[in-house]
Each structure stands twice: as structure tokens, then as C-alpha cells.
Amino acid sequence: MPARTQQEIVARLQQVRAGGEDLYGFQEEVLLPALDFDHARPFLHPSVTRTKWRQTVDLESQARAYLEFAIDKIIDHRSNSAWRSTVKLAELAWLLGRDDVVAAMHAAGYPCYGAPKVKAFADGFGWRFADGLGWRLAETVEDRQPRRALIRMAQGRQCDPAGCQRGCAD
């Protein structure tokens, strides 16, 4: 899986900062740690020294963990966290060199806490989406409900066929 060069990441960070769209710094939170100290330094507070700097090297593990986080927030109907997740996942897909996944997420739109975008991310990498709920839940009859809800939400439908009371329709 081709990853971006340090120079490409620096260029993207500069572009993100100049664009002014990353209001809460979510993209930067993903991009900056992907740099080594020498490339990150111009973006860092002077108090961050070489010995303090921790570069994220294993981006794939980070992306897999973040996907689980995102699914959790969708099921829990946590709008702010879910939105942050989609922004960060798109940035991780870019870092991992997957412009096709970025494009699929962009095309997916944002109903139902970004569930279609997050599914596009999981599908693009071939990672588990609704089938991966085992990490979150034991396999019992009751646990089928969140799985069904997630599948519905990824189709842009309310989590509950009887109507969602928690915000899907907002």
C-alpha cells in the first residue's frame, strides 16, 4: 500500500491550513503526527522538542482502530464524534495513498452520522463494517439490533424501521 512522502504530507498540511476549512484541526491531528520531527518542526509549538516528538509510523493500525471508534460513535448517535471520525478517516485514507477511498467517501454524502462514508472507507480497504461488531458486542440475539441499525444507517435510512427517536432524521 503506497504511502505519501514526507514532502507530500507537508504540502497537504500547508494546503489545509491555507484553506481554512479545518476549523477544529481534525485533519491536522491526523496529518501532523505522520511527519518525522524535522518535517513537523515548522508546524509545531517551539516547546515540542525532538525527544518529545512521537511520529505515527503504523498508519494502518491507526486507521483500523479509528474505524472501530467511528462505528461506535455512529451506533451511539454521537454527532460531533461521528463527524470528526469521518474527517479523520478520509485523511487517513489519503495518507495511505488511497485516493479512490477518499473519492468514494466524498461521494457518499453525510446522512445518519456519516455511516455511508464510514462504510465506503471500510469497503475500500476491505475491512469489516457491520460484520465487525464482534469487537464491541458479544454474539447474542440482542446484539443483532445494532448490526441491523448500522446496515440501515449506511444506506442512509433511519436506524430503526419504526422511526429513530435519537436523531437519525435530523
Radius of gyration of the chain (CA): 17
Any residues with CB less than 8 A from the CB of 53 and at least 6 apart, and which?
36, 37, 40, 44
Q: First-to-last CA distance in the chain?
A: 38
Beta carbon of residue 158, minimum distance to Zn ion (angstroms, whole number) = 5
| Residue 27 or 158 with smaller CB distance to Zn ion | 158
CA distances from 60 to 22, 44, 125, 147 (A): 23, 24, 10, 24
Question: Which of 159, 162, 163, 170 is close enough to bind Zn ion by CB under 5 A?
Answer: 159
Which segment (46-54, 79-87, 100-108, 152-160) binds Zn ion by CB under 5 A?
A: 152-160
71 touching Zn ion, by CB under 5 A: no
Shortest Å, Cβ 73 to Zn ion? 12
Could you tell me which stretch among 46-54, 117-125, 129-137, 159-167 binds Zn ion (CB under 5 A)?
A: 159-167
Taking contact as CB under 5 A, which single stretch among the options 52-60, 88-96, 113-121, 158-166 is the one that binds Zn ion? 158-166
Does residue 168 belong to the site contacting Zn ion (CB under 5 A)?
yes
| Total binding residues toward Zn ion, as defined by CB under 5 A | 4
Cβ–Cβ contacts within 10 Å for residue 46, how many? Answer: 6
**Residues sharing a CB contact under 8 Å with residue 109, sequence separation 6 or more, in sequence order:** 116, 117, 156
Residues that bind Zn ion (CB under 5 A): 159, 164, 166, 168
